[in-house]
Structures are given as C-alpha cells and as structure tokens.
Structure 1
C-alpha cells in the first residue's frame, strides 16, 4: 500500500501554481444536424503544475530527501493550496458531517458551524473531507441550528461517515506527482547559486 508523506516546508514556497479541473465528461455532436448529447463520466479530480522559488543548497537537499522518500510515483503526498491556506469565508465553528453520505454525492450536509452566519464559506473555498480536497461551488451560510449544505467539486470519492470533521485551515488532499523528480546539481561551486524547478501532479483517486 502506498505511503502518504506531508509536503515539506521548502516545497510550500511556490512562485507559480496552476490548478486544472479534470473530468471525463463528454459531448457528442452530430455532424449532420448539429444536435449534441452530453454524457457524464465518473472521473473528477484536480491536477496542478507548480514552480518552486529558488533554493539554496540546504533547501535543495531537503527537497531531494522528500523525493527520495516518495520513490518516484510509488508513494503519495498530502498538500494544501499554498495560496489559499484559509477560506475567504468566515469559517467559524467546528463543522462536521451531519449524515452518512455515499460516494458520488455532490452535496454534503454539515453541522457545528456558528449559527446564523452568512458567508461561512465563499464560492471556491477549499474544504477537506477525510483525505479528499474539494472546493465549494456556491457560498455557504449557516442556519439558526449551525447547519449548512456544501455543494462540492470534485464530488465525493468515498462514502463519508457521520461526524467526519470538515477541515478548513488548511484544507489538504492526497496527490501524486506525474512528472519525473527534478535533477539537482549539488556541487560545492553551486552553494551560492540558487535554482528552481517545476513539477506537475494530480489528485489521487481514493478507493475503499
């Protein structure tokens, strides 16, 4: 079973980060009539490319050690969006899932928010549910009982038990790199010559 490793501090200092929504939804269009038929696929996940800030030798060696622990694409890593470590919404209370929810669900009922707070989450805010990282598609307000419903992308990959915490600060998910580990030149002459590199990765598809 793959090991999951936390992304080290040195690799949280990114200078450029691009997220992509991956899905296998399709659209078939008739070449004769132009009519279209949409088909919903099963895959939804995030992929990314990130460019790291320039590192000195000590920082680069810490990064090298991380890639050695990953052993290429064998193992996975846990990561938050370094540009969004807390929500734009208020995010007050201690939210948890309020009802067991099956895999494939787009919506998630929650409770434990501070009651009667508009804008607990803003559309696009990250949330962590178990090991999955998703974003809410609409603003989230809590009602008089502290309940709120989340509209998620990606949808739930795994069934979520009642009482599962909703993590906001920071929300993390499990990912794996799709690019090869970078090459490092760690000669003594390079001690004061900082360098940077670029990596791409994809959200791990969670299975029971």
Structure 2
C-alpha cells in the first residue's frame, strides 16, 4: 500500500471524440483558472472552432491525475476550450502543462494489501486488485 503506480483504464485508451491540436493547461486566464478543487479545466492549443473534440466519458491525464470528461468539448476561435471533469483538480497544473489524451494514466496505490484470485475448471485465472487515488 505504501508505493504508487501509474494506472490507466484499458477501456479508454483513445478518446471517443475527434481531438485536434496540442492541448495544454491554461492558467494564464486570471484568478480561479485551474485552481485546486475546481471541476473545470481551462485549456488552449486546440484547433480553433472545432466541435466534439472530446465526448462525455473520455479520459484525460493532467500531470499525474486521471480525469473523466463530463460534457462535450468544443474549441472557440482562439483554440481555447473549457473541460468539465471529474474528479476535481487536486493541484493547480503549471501553465502549458500537457493534456494527455492517448493512454491517459493516473497515480494510484493499493487500497489494501489483499489480492484475490481464482482458477476455473478450464484453468482460466482471474486476479482482483483494488486501487485508490494516491494523494
């Protein structure tokens, strides 16, 4: 339980949307932009005036944190976009921090030191490991 590991969701390796551009965190927007505890991530670097860049359920990585997109993401004329995310930001990302869209991962640790496993009659092995977000 004491060590951390980067883990992603194998079902969300690439976004369902059609991302274009090179998105980064935008903390230059003024007070309250991307502060810890907020559920809106302000970004820039997208291709301007694009729709459906990301769709609800897509996974993104900001720093060492894994987030789920809650609403459709569209960019404005400057290539900026606000992304509704869950869970909230744990830390304020540095300005121009890369937003990872392909194979996003987050920092987790074991929830407990117990692992379960089973073997079927056909000799298929199933293993279960519980993780919690590393803080």
Tell me if both proteins adopt one fold, taking TM over 0.5 as the criterion. yes
Report deviation, 1:181: 5.1
Q: Indicate the residue corresponding to 1:170 in structure 2.
A: 103
CA displacement at 1:203 relative to structure 2: 1.4
Q: CA deviation at 1:202?
A: 1.0
**SS of alignment partner, residue 130 of structure 2:** strand
Which residue matches 1:107? 40
**Structure exhibiting the larger radius of gyration computed from Cα positions:** 1
Query: Could you say what secondary structure the match of 2:125 adopts?
Result: coil
Size of the aligned set, in residue pairs, is 126
List gaps (5 residues or longer) in structure 1. 1-72, 185-192
Instruction: Name the CA distance, whole Å, in 2 between partners of 1:183 and 1:116.
Output: 49
Q: Within 5 Å, give how 1:180-199 maps onto structure 2.
A: 180=113, 182=115, 195-199=125-129
Separation (CA, whole Å) in 2 of partners of 1:75 and 1:157:
19
Distance in 1, Cα, partners of 2:58 & 2:116: 34
Give unmatched runs, 5+ long, in structure 2. Answer: 29-33, 118-122
Using the size of structure 1 for normalisation, the TM-score is 0.56
Deviation beyond 6 Å, 4+ runs, structure 1: none
Could you say which residue in structure 2 is the equivalent of 1:65?
none
Q: How does 1:123-202 map to 2 (within 5 A)?
A: 123-180=56-113, 182=115, 195-202=125-132
Quote the offset at 1:183 in angstroms. Answer: 7.5
Higher relative contact order (CA 8 A, sep 6+): 2
Cα RMSD (Å): 1.9
CA deviations on 1:104-128 (whole Å, 9 max, x unpaired) are: 1111211111122100000111111
1:94 to 19, 22, 44: 22
Larger helix percent: 1
